[in-house]
Amino acid sequence: NAGVTQTPKFRILKIGQSMTLQCTQDMNHNYMYWYRQDPGMGLKLIYYSVGAGITDKGEVPNGYNVSRSTTEDFPLRLELAAPSQTSVYFCASSYYTRNTGELFFGEGSRLTVL
């Protein structure tokens, strides 16, 4: 049982480039999330999804896009990368809503924008 799998683990981008962080889960969870973790800060919610075909913005959605075509996959798209998007990104999933259920996190994707 792999849980939540994120790829890539590390990536360096130049300003203005675009990329997609991949996330897949095999726990059949309806709820999926993307967070970013910056040094000295708590995790911030970027986007979330309550099921296939449904996505919504979190606290810090600017500069990002998501899609949810299947229950398993929830990719995060960065358009026109900026240095402010240098961060560690975590994908997570939960069986119940995030304020009641346990969040299961991937191992993270460290992104550097130069």
Partner 1 sequence: KNQVEQSPQSLIILEGKNCTLQCNYTVSPFSNLRWYKQDTGRGPVSLTIMTFSENTKSNGRYTATLDADTKQSSLHITASQLSDSASYICVVSGGYQKVTFGTGTKLQVIP
Candidates 18, 84, 97, 112; binder of partner 1 (CB under 8 A) is 97
Closer to partner 1 at the Cβ: 14 or 42?
42
Candidates 19, 27, 82, 103; binder of partner 1 (CB under 8 A) is 103
Least distance from partner 1 to the Cβ atom of residue 98, Å: 5
Q: Rounded CA gap, 17 and 102, in Å?
A: 34
Stretch 6-35 residues interacting with partner 1 (CB under 8 A): none
Range in contact with partner 1 (rule: CB under 8 A) among 14-22, 62-70, 71-79, 96-104: 96-104
Q: Rounded CA gap, 58 and 14, in Å?
A: 25
At 87, which amino acid appears? S
What region, left, alpha or beta, does residue 3 occupy, with left being phi > 0 and alpha being psi -120 to 50 degrees? left
Candidates 43, 61, 63, 73; binder of partner 1 (CB under 8 A) is 43
Residue 35's Cβ-count burial label (10 Å; 0-12, 13-18, 19+) is buried
